[in-house]
Amino acid sequence: MDIDLTKPLDIRIVQRILPHRYPFLLVDRILEVEPGVRIKGIKNVTVNEPFFNGHFPENPIMPGVLQLEMMAQISGISLLLCPEYEGRLALLAAIDKARFRRPVVPGDVLLVDAEVTKMRGPMGWVKCVATVEGKVVCEAEIVFALSTQDRELGA
C-alpha cells in the first residue's frame, strides 16, 4: 500500500485500510503510526451518532462496547499497515483487562494510544488506552487474528 506514514492519515486513507463503513467506522484520523509497533488515532464523538438515540436519550453516553470497537479499529490499522499483513482482515479474537474509567459524551475527542506488545504468526496483542482531554476513559488489551480476505472461517 502506497501511503505516506510521515503525515496523519485522513478518513480516505483509513477507508482504504479498513473494510468498515458508516455507521460502524469509528475512526476519524490516524495521527501517528509505526506499523506493527504503535499507533495514535482519534474519534470525534458527535451527538449525531445513531447509538445516542437509545443510549441514553436524556443523558447520551457512548456505549463501552463501541469504545472497545473504536480501539480495535485503530489498533488494527497498525497491524494491517505491515507489509506481511496487507490485504488481510484484523479480526477481534479477545479483549482482556477492559476498564471504563469515565463516560464518553457528545463533543468529546477520543484519543487512542495503542502499542503492539506481541506478534505470533497471524496473532497480534495490543495494549490500548483511550483518553479525553488527557484523562483515561477506557483501556484494554486486545488480541487480533489476522485472516485472509476469504475469512478463513469456512468461506
Residues taking part in catalysis: 55
Output the 3-class SS for the chain.
Answer: CCCCCCCCECHHHHHHHCCCCCCCCCCCEEEEEECCCEEEEEEECCCCCHHHHCCCCCCCCCCHHHHHHHHHHHHHHHHHCCHHHCCCEEEEEEEEEEEECCCCCCCCEEEEEEEEEEEECCEEEEEEEEEECCEEEEEEEEEEEEECCCCCCCC
| Alpha carbons 123 and 106: distance in angstroms, whole number | 34
